């Protein structure tokens, strides 16, 4: 009789524990959804249409994870209570004490510089599993205590329909959270892939990055429906070099594309060729300074067209026409817009934020030809009224590109193809708007306004989230291939960012190595002593510190910035931090040492399009 009663008590305890777990999981899911919306300011950014989707996704994921994690511990408690009810309280107290010791030990509170995980030699993943188990048991015990002391909760939990409601909600959460948690494992077969690249696009111009009067509602929509990387950087702030990296997953030094006019050699394997080999139709439409395939970017494309002066509209129209002729097979589409870069001459319909009282020199367009060097390096100064107008023109250029992206999205939706399309949007560089005395240009200096770029990945089966970890455009190709379940080759110098999305390496900091472009106006760029390819600036960014190295006769110049306390890079602290300078310099030199010798050679005449576009390129 006693054994039968004990078994009944154990089963009842287990049922109550499951009910409590379901209820607590539901509450946690609601808080998770609300906190994510609040943290990302969807309402403040005018993205309320995405808020419900975001809330449901995070409720499902948190609810499912919580319940799946706690049920094994509830089962363990059930077996313990079933086997040894008299020892239950003592064993539970020991487990709670062990949890406290593990937690304190994991923080190194016992002995400075020492912790249990290191002493036991277990991996971070195993250690998190141990802590999760003990936390789970403690949580169930506390929940049981609450249950025993709360008559109202006791009455609610005992109602059978309420238990059934919780169970149904959990099953729905499990079904819907599968795509959120295992997104890389169940992408629809043969998704379309759309790669959008934009010249000179500063991330701080996007509403999804906090801009209140955003000129990018369509880009913001993509960001609200996908993964946004808040700290993405290019490996070179020049268009040709950056595009070569985006298409190959390799550094400019490796590909040999180290100057604006260098060609990507046929020996390099591009993401286009990889997807074409897998049966994808491939089309590329790019606004580039030279026609045809002078840069080697047409590799693998069945249809490729360069538009030297076509503008964003021509690119979008050509891409949509191509899509209309491709109905049966998955496609890879690359579109490159160069409109935001100089000159800032937006279409008239985009001049909606122009000050009606402005009567200066640039009412509709700003172009620094033929005095590029004077303007770029601050020798031709403008007052605050003119600089504000120039920035409005720059924003209007961005708005024009965003409108074309909106046309592409609308075309995909009309044909019911957006739901099965992966969209990746990024920039080739930022744009300096006067920071560090560098105006309306990119490529010659390496401060963050020039090297930071947007990076957004959107697909139906990917979560909606913001990732703060530092990443590179070097990582784009491996990430795309990982999402598509294709092998990520060792030839890539980047890594898949899905490890960050899956929270497998949330603390990982990917080092950013970056090299400046060629000096187009060396007689005006006094910050660069050596104008040839050997005088390129190089930088390394490790998350907190950033070191910029400028080759000079004798000793190289070195700048060091503490990005935690000085994100604007205004105070060079190299003298005060010699050890940090030494460490980062060694890392940078090791990266430079990998540069093939044949890419260090200067030579060759400037192409006609570059000579005509830039006055005073060389003395």
Question: 39 by DSSP, 3-state: which?
Answer: helix
Cβ contacts of 531 within 8 Å, gap of 6 or more: 519, 522, 525, 618
**E strand or H helix that includes residue 28:** helix 2-40
| Residue matched to tokens 């310099």 | 585
Burial class (CB in 10 A: 0-12, 13-18, 19+), 175: exposed
User: Is the domain defined by 192-613 classed in CATH 3.40.720.10?
Assistant: yes
User: pLDDT at position 566, please?
Assistant: 97
User: pLDDT at position 329, please?
Assistant: 84
Which tens digit of pLDDT belongs to each residue from 527-537? 888 888 888 99
Cβ contacts of 538 within 8 Å, gap of 6 or more: 446, 513, 514, 515, 516, 548, 549, 588, 591, 592
Cβ contacts of 215 within 8 Å, gap of 6 or more: 205, 353, 395, 396, 398, 399, 402
| Residue matched to tokens 């030990």 | 105
User: pLDDT at position 401, please?
Assistant: 95
Which tens digit of pLDDT belongs to each residue from 243-301? 999 999 999 999 999 888 889 999 999 999 999 998 899 999 999 877 667 889 999 99
Given a cut of 70, the residues of the chain with pLDDT beneath it are: 1-25, 28-29, 32-33, 35-190, 291-292, 309-310, 370, 503-507, 597-619
User: pLDDT at position 281, please?
Assistant: 94
Cβ contacts of 575 within 8 Å, gap of 6 or more: none
> How many Å apart are CA 101 and CA 105, to the nearest integer?
6
User: pLDDT at position 179, please?
Assistant: 46
What sections of 107-123 are H helices per DSSP?
A: 116-120
Q: Are 174 and 402 in contact (CB under 8 A)?
A: no
Burial class (CB in 10 A: 0-12, 13-18, 19+), 580: middle
Beta strands 226-233 and 465-472 are parallel
Q: Which residues pair with 426 in a beta bridge?
A: 197, 455
User: pLDDT at position 110, please?
Assistant: 37
| Domain coordinates in residue numbering, the chain | 2-181, 192-613
Beta strands 192-198 and 331-337 are parallel
Question: 469 by DSSP, 3-state: which?
Answer: strand
> How many Å apart are CA 225 and CA 251, to the nearest integer?
30
Q: Are 549 and 537 in contact (CB under 8 A)?
A: yes
| Residue matched to tokens 């080999």 | 277
| Residue matched to tokens 């002493």 | 119
Nearest residue to 541 via CA among 565, 577, 514: 514
């Amino acid at each position: 009789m006693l054994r039968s009663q004990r078994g009944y008590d154990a089963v009842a305890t287990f049922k109550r524990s499951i009910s409590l777990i379901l209820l607590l999981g539901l509450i946690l899911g609601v808080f998770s959804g609300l906190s994510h919306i609040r943290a990302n300011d969807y309402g403040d950014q005018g993205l309320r249409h995405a808020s419900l989707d975001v809330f449901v996704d995070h409720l499902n994921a948190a609810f499912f994870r919580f319940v799946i994690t706690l049920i094994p511990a509830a089962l363990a408690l059930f077996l313990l209570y079933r086997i040894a009810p008299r020892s239950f309280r003592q064993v539970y107290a020991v487990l709670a004490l062990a949890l406290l010791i593990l937690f304190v030990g994991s923080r190194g509170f016992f002995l400075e510089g020492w912790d249990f995980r290191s002493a036991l030699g277990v991996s971070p993943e195993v250690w998190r599993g141990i802590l999760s188990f003990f936390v789970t048991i403690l949580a169930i015990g506390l929940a049981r205590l609450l249950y025993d002391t709360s008559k109202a909760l006791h009455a609610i939990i005992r109602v059978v329909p309420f238990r059934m409601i919780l169970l149904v909600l959990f099953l729905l959460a499990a079904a819907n959270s599968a795509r959120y948690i295992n997104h890389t494992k169940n992408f629809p077969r043969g998704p379309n892939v759309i790669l959008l690249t934009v010249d000179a696009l500063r991330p701080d111009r996007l509403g999804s990055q906090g801009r209140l009067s955003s000129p990018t509602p369509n880009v913001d929509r993509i960001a609200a429906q996908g993964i946004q990387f808040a700290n993405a950087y290019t490996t070179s702030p020049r268009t040709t070099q950056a595009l070569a990296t985006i298409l190959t997953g390799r550094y400019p030094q490796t590909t040999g594309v180290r100057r604006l006019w260098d060609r990507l050699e046929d020996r390099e394997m591009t993401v286009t060729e990889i997807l074409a080999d897998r049966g994808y139709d491939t089309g590329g439409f790019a606004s580039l300074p030279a026609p045809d395939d002078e840069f080697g970017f047409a590799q693998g494309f069945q249809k490729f067209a360069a538009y030297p002066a076509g503008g964003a509209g021509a690119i979008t129209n050509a891409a949509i026409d191509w899509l209309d002729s491709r109905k049966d097979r998955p496609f890879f589409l690359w579109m490159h817009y160069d409109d935001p870069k100089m000159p800032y001459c937006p279409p008239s319909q985009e001049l909606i934020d122009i000050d009606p009282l402005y009567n200066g020199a640039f009412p509709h367009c700003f172009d620094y030809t033929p005095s590029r060097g004077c303007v770029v390096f601050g020798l031709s100064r403008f007052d605050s009224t003119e600089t504000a107008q120039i920035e409005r023109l720059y924003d209007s250029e961005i708005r024009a590109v965003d409108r074309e992206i909106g046309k592409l999205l609308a075309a995909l939706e009309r044909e019911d193809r957006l739901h099965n399309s992966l969209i990746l949007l990024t920039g080739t560089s930022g744009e300096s708007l006067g920071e560090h005395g560098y105006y309306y240009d990119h490529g010659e200096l390496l401060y963050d306004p020039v090297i930071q770029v947007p990076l957004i990945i959107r697909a139906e089966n990917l979560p909606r989230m913001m990732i703060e970890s530092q990443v590179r455009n070097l990582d784009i190709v491996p990430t795309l291939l990982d999402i598509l379940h294709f092998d990520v080759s060792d030839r890539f110098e980047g890594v898949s960012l899905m490890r960050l999305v899956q929270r497998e390496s949330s603390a990982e900091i990917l080092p950013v190595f970056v090299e400046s472009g060629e000096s187009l106006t060396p007689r005006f760029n006094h910050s660069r002593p050596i104008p040839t390819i050997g005088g390129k600036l190089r930088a390394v960014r490790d998350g907190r510190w950033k070191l910029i190295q400028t080759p000079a006769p004798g000793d190289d110049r070195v700048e060091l910035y503490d990005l935690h306390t000085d994100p604007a890079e205004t105070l060079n602290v190299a003298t005060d931090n010699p050890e940090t300078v030494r460490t980062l310099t060694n890392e940078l030199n090791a990266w430079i040492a990998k540069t093939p010798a044949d890419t260090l050679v200067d030579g060759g005449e400037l192409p006609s399009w570059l000579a005509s576009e830039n006055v005073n390129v060389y003395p």
